[in-house]
Every structure is written in C-alpha cells, then in structure tokens.
Amino acid sequence: MKRLFAALLFLYLFTACLPQSPGPIIGLPGAHPTEPLPENVHLANENTAPMPVPVLYRAESSRGIYEPAEGIYLGAWLGPHTPKRSFTDTAGRRHGVFAYEMHLGESIPTTWILQCIAAQAAPLFIIHPPKEALPHEDAIADLAYKLGTFNLPMFVAFFPGFHGVSQANHGITAQEYTIAFRYARALFLHYAPHIAFVWVAPNAEATAGSPFFPGHDAVDWVGVPLFAKRDDSGFAGDILAKFAPFYQHFQAYHPIMVLPLGVSHFSRVDHAYHIQDAAMEIARVYQGLAAFPRLGLVVYADAFGLSPANPDDFGIFIEVDLLRAYAQAIAGGHFISALEKDAPQQALWRRSAFAGYYWEGRMFIDAETLSAELSMPVPRSTIAIEDRLFVEGAQVAGARISFCETRRAILVKT
C-alpha cells in the first residue's frame, strides 16, 4: 500500500503541475461603434418592457459520466426518519439520487444502499474527513473497494466544504487536501470506475484557481451548495445570481450539481414562519435552474432543519404547502427521475456570459456573444441597450435563433 501511495502521489503531483484549460470568456464590451436605438425599434413602452434572458448556444464538450443528455436529475437529502418512498410519493415524482453523509472510516450503510436500489435511485455519498486520526490511505482504499463491490452507479463527494464545515478548517492544508483528493480519485478509478467523483466547493465564489481545487483531471462533477437564507428584509440575496458566475466558470469542463439546495421558511432572525415566501422562491429557483444546461443534478436539502449551527429551517417534508410547491416546481419534463448511464456524446448547450433580450417575440443577442463566444461576424446594424450593443436575431446570418419557454432562454443554433 505504501508503495502504491508513493507512486500515485508522484504521478498526481506531476500531472497537477500541467497547465489547466483557460476559463470561460467573461469580459467588457468591445470597442464597437455605438449606434442609438433606431426610431422604428421600440423595446419598451408604457405597458411592457424588454426581458433580459439567458442565451444558450451549442459547443463541443465531452459529456461527463452519468451526465444527462438534457435536463436535471432530481435528488433529495432526507433526514434519517423520512422514508424515501413517502417523500417521492408525496412529491409526485421518483427521484434519481439520494444523499448520505458519513465520515471516512465509518461502516458502509448497506441497508441504506439497498433502499436506494429498491427506490431505483443512485446513492450519493458525502464523505467527510475522519472524526479520529487513522491511516487515510488504508481507509480510502477500503472505502473504494467496498463501494466498488456493489457495482452500482454512484456519486462520491469527497471531503466537501459546506454545511458549516469548510475545507480550510478540516485541519489540513490546501496541499494536503489536494493530495488526499487525487489519491482517493486514483483508488476509486482502480476499485470503482463506475463511481462519479465530485468536488464540492465551499461556496459559489470558488473557482478552479482555488488552492483547494484538485485539478480538472481529478474531477468528474463539480458541486456547490445554494441556500436561500432569511434576514430582516426577506431572502438574503438571489441564489440564482450567486450561482451564475460559478456555473460560468466550470461549465466548459464538468457537469455541475447543486449539493444541496435549500430554501428557508423559518429563521431565528425573526422567529416567524414564511411558508408562502418559501413556496414562491422554490418555484422561482427551480424554474431558473432550467436555464443552466450543464446543471445535471439538484439535491434538495430536506434534512437541513434548525440546529445550533443552522438558524434556518430548509426542510419541506413536514410542511404541506411547501411540499406541494416543490411537487409543482419539479413536475415539468425538464426534471429527470432516472439516471442515464449511456447518454449520447454530442455537442452540449453552453450558457453565454452575456444576457440577451426577449420582447414580443423578438430576440436580441449581445454582440460579444457572437464575436467572442461564437466567432461570428457582428452585423453592421446593431442596437444599443443599457450601454451594450445587440443584434436582432433576424439579422444574424448562419444561425437559427429561437426562444425556449421551458428554459426561458434564447437558443442559438449554428
């Protein structure tokens, strides 16, 4: 084992030094001549206004293990006393993934895995560092071997940084963390190649430049927690807006999961229930997530209730109105109940770093979407909106441009 560890350590430290691919293009408007809005083009009147919407386009990318061809897997992180069947029956949809939290060195929950098999769902293990000191190499190898014997599609989120426990306070340095992660990845490739390995960021501000990121070659999926918490004025920020730059940074390299997603309906800030607000936010968030095409899994944090470390209650199972709102939010065909094991390899949708506008059936594309991301010429006829240059979709040659109601986004097919 020590010889294996030394060899793998050398290999992965060497590959970690190789240059990573550049990040997605996000920049300021180019130096195009600004033309005023023509007199015959009115994007707003006293009754309506143009709607900023995401713009999606096709790009060549390698599909990740278990990444769906289209849509988002439904996942749930349930409390120990919430039966999977009761949750899915009440929610009205079968869920493709269930999450389980454990520390390295603890016993494999065989009964829980069998329950996942009965529910036709893939297990997702959140593996935290051991509670007590032990030889990490042997414990990681043992975990990989035992999970591999089930020969099931699974996800493993190794040493994640969320739920009040960040990677920085695990008591290990960034170098120690990335070495452990890459070593674990190598062992899982050997003993359990059918398990997707997940790096979970501590928050949506993380990038591949973080010293705790183990490298694109050591990661199958990238995850991030999103919690809509409450303050004195309501929800503390827009979690979709926080998620967008994180997604933009990683979409070219990996499928992405939200692990977990939680919307608060009670907070100790005001000691009041806000069921209706939470129901509306759940509907808004799930609708908005459909516009992130490489978002492949959303795991709802039903198990995250009030605790000494958590002043917000994100659970939905015991609140009838919230569970009804959740059921309605996931009812659309964009959400998937079963894991896709062999999705076809094809060009994937990518989200532009620049929003477009949709107004009364007319679509307007940011000039930088065309020039910087699609390498297409910008027509001479441009329109200035909010100090940026846009091109009406009908003026773009060589592309089919349409509006998708499900994703509430403009689609550009070249």
Q: What pLDDT, in 10s, does the model give residues 3-27? A: 444 444 444 443 443 333 333 323 3
Domain presence at residue 35: yes
Give the bridge partners for 358, in sequence order: 51, 363
For the chain, list residues with pLDDT below 70: 1-48, 134, 162-171, 343-344
Residue where a domain terminates, one of 296, 315, 336: 336
The two three-digit tokens of residue 31, written as one number: 């130096």
203 and 232 fall within a common domain = yes
Which residue range forms the structural domain that includes residue 398? 26-58+348-413
Same domain (yes/no): 325, 355: no
Same-domain check for residues 87 and 112: yes
Task: Give the model's pLDDT for residue 134.
Answer: 66
Residue 9: the pLDDT is 44
Contact 358, 120 (CB under 8 A): no
pLDDT of residue 347: 84
Domain membership flag for residue 76: yes
The pTM (predicted TM-score) of the whole model is: 0.86
CATH code where residue 134 lies: 3.20.20.80
For residue 32, what pLDDT is reported? 37
Q: Does 141 fall in a domain? A: yes
Is position 6 within any domain?
no
Domain assignment present for 11: no
Mean pLDDT for the chain overall:
87
Domain boundary among 316, 336, 356: 336
In a domain, 19, yes or no: no
Specify the pLDDT at position 3.
Answer: 43
CA–CA gap between residue 370 and residue 387 (Å, rounded)? 17
Q: Is residue 371 domain-shared with residue 233, that is, in the same domain? A: no
In this prediction, residue 50 carries a pLDDT of 78
| DSSP run (H or E) holding 327 | helix 320-329
Strand, coil or helix: what is 140?
helix
- Using only C-alpha atoms, the chain has a radius of gyration, in whole angstroms, of 23
Tell whether 113 and 244 lie within a shared domain.
Answer: yes
Q: Look at residue 24 in the predicted model and tell me its pLDDT.
A: 33
Q: What are phi and psi of 125, to 5 degrees?
A: -100, 130
Q: Which run of H or E residues covers position 331?
A: none
* Domain end (from 276, 305, 336): 336
Total domains, the chain: 2
